């Protein structure tokens, strides 16, 4: 026999009751093999710095970019799309781009950022782990930044003087 629950609120209450009945009590989830003298593993001190850096990057984007391209969800997804395009992971990039569009984020900003990345591609060091991410972020914040000057050409040897 099926019960009919007429309201959305009633369905929500039933769903919450089922979820709470299936949840594991916290006391059962704890590790019981620890000794009194054991210390829990120390948290990674760099994790807090990385999290704060991400928050600062989103705040910077909101301050400098007008419109939806500065929204945190647009920044996060858009930078991911540009990063994936650069690494030639087109399938994943297009899936992220679909989400980016669903959030109402401007596709022109992704295009301008990718153009900026291409123009500044010589500044991305594949050996430095955050070089690409830093360049993508800089291009996201200011996609119209001028391209750096070309690298100086190697000095050509002087041709022998004819006598």
Residue 40 lies in a domain: no
Predicted pLDDT of residue 19: 46
Predicted pLDDT of residue 5: 47
First and final C-alpha spacing in the chain: 110
**What is the per-residue DSSP string for 70-136?**
GSHHHHHHHHHHHHHHHTT-HHHHHHHHHHHHHTT--HHHHHHHHHHHHHTGGG--TTSTTHHHHHH
Percent of the chain past pLDDT 90, that is, above it, reads 39
* Model confidence at 28: pLDDT above 50: no
How many domains, in total, are found in the chain? 1
What are the tens digits of pLDDT across the range 96-115? 999 999 999 999 999 999 99
Residue 95 lies in a domain: yes
Residue 12 lies in a domain: no
Cα 158 from Cα 140, distance rounded (Å):
44
Residue 43 lies in a domain: no
What are the tens digits of pLDDT across the range 29-48? 555 555 555 555 555 666 67
106 is in which domain, residue-wise? 50-141
pTM of the model: 0.59
Residue 59 lies in a domain: yes
User: Per the structure block, which two tokens stand in for 128?
Assistant: 């430095």
């Amino acid at each position: 026999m099926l019960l009919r629950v007429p309201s959305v609120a009633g369905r929500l209450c039933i769903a919450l009751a089922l979820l709470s009945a299936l949840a594991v009590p916290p006391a059962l989830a704890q590790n019981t093999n620890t000794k009194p003298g054991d210390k829990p593993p120390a948290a990674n001190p760099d994790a807090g710095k990385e999290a704060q850096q991400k928050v600062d990057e989103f705040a910077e984007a909101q301050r400098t970019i007008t419109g939806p391209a500065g929204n945190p969800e647009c920044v996060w997804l858009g930078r991911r799309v540009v990063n994936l395009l650069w690494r030639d992971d087109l399938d994943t990039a297009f899936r992220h781009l679909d989400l980016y569009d669903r959030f109402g984020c401007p596709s022109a900003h992704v295009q301008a950022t990718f153009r900026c990345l291409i123009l500044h591609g010589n500044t991305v060091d594949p050996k430095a782990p955050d070089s690409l991410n830093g360049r993508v972020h800089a291009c996201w914040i200011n996609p119209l930044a001028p391209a750096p000057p070309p690298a100086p050409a190697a000095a050509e040897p002087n041709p022998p003087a004819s006598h």
